[in-house]
Structures are given as C-alpha cells and as structure tokens.
A = this chain, B = another copy of it.
Amino acid sequence: MSGKTLIEAYEQTAYPLGGNGPRDVQVLKEAFDQVQGSLGSDMYGNGKVIEDFQNKMASVLGKESAVFFPSGTMAQQIALRIWCDEKGLKRVAYHPLCHLEIHEQDGLKELHHIEPILLATQDRLITLADVQQLDEEISCLLLELPQREIGGQLPAFEEVEAISAYCREKGIKLHLDGARLFEIIPYYGKSAAEICALFDSVYVSLYKGIGGIAGAILAGDKGFTEQSKVWKRRHGGDLISLYPYIISSDYYFEQRIGKMSQYYEGAKELAALYNACEGVLTKPEVPVSNMFHVYFELPEEKMASILTSVLEASGVGLTAWLRDAGDGISSFEISIGDRYPNVPKDKLQEAFRLLNEKMREQ
C-alpha cells in the first residue's frame, strides 16, 4: 500500500477512462488557436459571434429561436418563470433529483417564488401515470433526459411522446432539461430536433458531452426567447462579452457532435466490464447514453482503498472519487468521452481482472 488517496492515485494514472481530457486552460487555447484576433466581441447579447451560434443551435434543436446563457441554472429557472407567468400560476413539477431541486441553493424558490411538486421517487423516472395523477394544477413540467442523478436513465421515446401529448391536451408547458441531450441521440435513434419537438422549451449544456468551457442554450419560440433575454439581463447573465464560452462551445460542438455514438458504445462496453465483477453493478445496467453510475457492495473507505490499489497497479484511471451511497454501498459516476478509446484494451482487461480479484477476496 502506497498510502495514496484515490484522487492522488488517479492523477498519476496513464489511462484515465472518463471524460474528454483535463479541464485546463489548453481547452480554451485550442479553441482560440484558429480564430482571428480581429474577430469582434459580442456586445450584451448582440453581434455576429453570438447570433450565428444561437441561430445554428436553434436549427440543430428545431426551434424558432435560441439564446446563449452563461449557465443552465440561469436558463432553466428563467424558462420555468416564463411559463409560470404566462399561466399566472407559480407551480411546476419535476423529479425529486432535478438539478433545480438539489444543486441550485433553491434559486427557483428564493428568486422566483415558484413551488415545485416532486414527481416520481428518487430511484425511478417520471411516468405518464405520475403526470396524470397530479392533483394540483401546474404551469410546466420539467423532464430531464437522461435523468442524471439515477445514472442517466431514459424513458422509452413513446413514453415521452405520451407525456408530451398529455401536457399539450391539459395546457401544461413541457420543458426539457437536456443537459445531456446530444448524448442520448444514438439510443433514441432520433435527431435532436425530433426529440425537442415534443417540448415547448429546451435547455442544452455545452460543457457535458460537448466539452466546452461553460455555457448553455435555451431554445423555444421567438416570444419565449425574447422574454428569456429580459430575464437574462435581470439575473446578471447578459454579459458584455460571452464569446470565450461561445467560441469554445462552437469549436467543441463541431469536434464532438459526431462522436456521441462512439461515447455511447464505449459506455456500454465499460458497464459490461463492471457488471462482470463480483459485488459490482451499474445503473442503468446497460447505459442509454455516455454515462452511468457504478455501485460497489462495500463501504466507501474500504472500496476507495481497493480502487486505489487497482489504479496504482494497472495505470488505468477507473475513477477519481467515490461517494457513500448508504447501507455499506459506495458509488461513482462516469461519463465517456474522447479519452476512452485511448486506453489499451489489455490494460483495461488487466484493471478489471485485478478489481474482480480484489472484490472476490472480500
């Protein structure tokens, strides 16, 4: 035993499995290397740099209009606020593990005074029946595809179609948390626009699978996006210059939009390797995007020690961190990107042989 922590061991591995690469300044430098210095900045939401990218994203998402936001947190609160104001009812529904519920310091409640109804439970997806059984009126339903906090699970496309049809019938706006929308295109076998057509408003992230620096797009019809610009100013998101994020988003969109099937296939392959180990399983068992969660039937401290030794012996970076999932179980999340194909298959096999061996010894 070296006495290293898991993160220390991970940082020294030759073959990290997840992600596109380190989050460092090189990400920005690479994106700007091919850009002329004389290209003018956007100015408070106007200018060619921002307008061209917004138009491109509107087209990709099949929506009339799109607005670039510094963050999804800002974009999504604003989307829900607009739909609530339109109906005159400050109530929405979303999953209990929705980003707005657990990662935003209650911005939706504190800034917008919107009451969320939590649909479904922490361990499963929202179904049509959940929506039909709502006993209070709502302005908007938010669906997150894939549902990140439960491993990136997805409903059948037909279920989303049925929820969409029901919401339209009942006058409920349907908003897509598509932080990882591009990552589910291979599984659904639909275009981004075909998926977005089921929704009134759509948020996508530019730094998940796409691997930009930061930034988000909010798309919908023109009336909706024009209102969103007013709220963007109110939130303090209408920066004089957003081009550092826009140019890098566009650059990495072009680099990676065609690789989503490769990431998805990698995720399925890697999940199968975990599921073949004793005392290990993944959620979902077969990934439906580039991400999944890995669960170990051992508590965090014990498991971290095992993983550290596997990382040190194999040079393969399975994970940099681990969290306590309760009941003597530990887990982590992984998203497959550019790095995965660079890991030699024999190294990968060796890492999993070691992991399985150590799990069996317990």
**Structural contact, B110 and A234, CB atoms closer than 8 A:** yes
Of residues 13 through 41 on chain A, the ones whose CB sits less than 8 Å from some CB of chain B are 22-30, 32, 35-41
Contact between A236 and B24, CB atoms less than 8 A apart: no
A206 to chain B, nearest CB (A): 11
Asked if A207 is an interface residue, CB under 8 A from chain B, the answer is yes
Asked if A213 is an interface residue, CB under 8 A from chain B, the answer is yes
Residue of B nearest to A41 (CB): B23
Cα A213 to Cα B231 in complex, Å, equals 22
Q: Which residues of A219-259 are within 8 A (CB) of B?
A: 230-231, 233-245, 247
How far, in whole Å, are A107 and B214 apart by their CA atoms in the complex? 23
Using A73-B233, A107-B234 as known contacts, say yes or no to A23 and B40 having CB atoms under 8 A apart: yes
Docked-complex contact A236 and B25, CB < 8 angstroms: no
A243 to B243, CA, bound (A): 13
Contacting residue for A25 out of B36, B207, B238, CB 8 A: B36
Q: Which residues of B contact A274 (CB under 8 A)?
A: none
Specify how many copies of this chain sit in the oligomer.
Answer: 2
Contacts of A129 in B (CB 8 A): none
Question: Is A86 an interface position by the 8 A CB rule?
Answer: no
Please determine whether A213 and B236 come into contact, CB atoms closer than 8 angstroms: no
Q: Nearest CB to that of A234 among chain B residues?
A: B107
A146 at the interface (CB under 8 A from B): no
- The bracket for how many chain A residues form the interface is 35 or more
* Complex Cα spacing A30 to B35, Å: 13
Cα distance A247–B28 when bound, in Å?
A: 12
Cβ of A233: which chain B residues have Cβ within 8 Å of it?
73, 104-105, 107
Roughly how many angstroms separate A36 CA and B25 CA in the complex, as a whole number?
7
In the complex, what distance in Å separates the CA atom of A73 from the CA atom of B23? 28
- Say if the beta carbon of A71 comes within 8 Å of chain B: yes
Contact of A74 with B by CB under 8 A: yes
State whether the Cβ of A70 lies closer than 8 Å to any Cβ in chain B. Answer: yes
Q: A106 in the interface, Cβ–Cβ < 8 Å?
A: yes
- How far is it, in angstroms, between the C-alpha of A234 and the C-alpha of B242 when the chains are bound? 20
- When distances are taken between beta carbons in the complex, the residues of chain B under 8 Å from A74 are 235-237
Q: Can you name the residue of chain B whose Cβ is closest to the Cβ of A39?
A: B25
Q: Is the CB of B23 within 8 A of A38?
A: no
Evaluate whether A32 and B22 lie within 8 angstroms (CB atoms) in the complex, with A74-B237, A240-B214 already known. Answer: no
Q: How many angstroms from the CA of A231 to the CA of B26 in the assembled complex?
A: 30
What is the CB-to-nearest-CB distance from A69 to chain B, in angstroms, rounded to a whole number? 7
Enumerate A102-141 residues with CB–CB distance to B below 8 Å. 104-107, 110-112
B29 & A240 in contact (Cβ 8 Å cutoff)? no
How many angstroms between the C-alpha atoms of A36 and B234 in the bound complex? 36
Q: Once the chains bind, are A105 and B230 in contact (CB under 8 Å)? A: yes
* A63–chain B nearest beta-carbon distance, Å: 20
Given A70-B70, A214-B241, A241-B23, also A235-B107 (CB < 8 A): yes
Query: Taking the nearest CB of chain B, how far is it from the CB of A79, in angstroms?
Result: 12
A196 CB-CB contact with B under 8 Å: no
A43 at the interface (CB under 8 A from B): yes
Residues of A in contact with B (beta carbons under 8 Å apart): 22-30, 32, 35-41, 43, 69-75, 77, 104-107, 110-112, 207, 213-214, 230-231, 233-245, 247
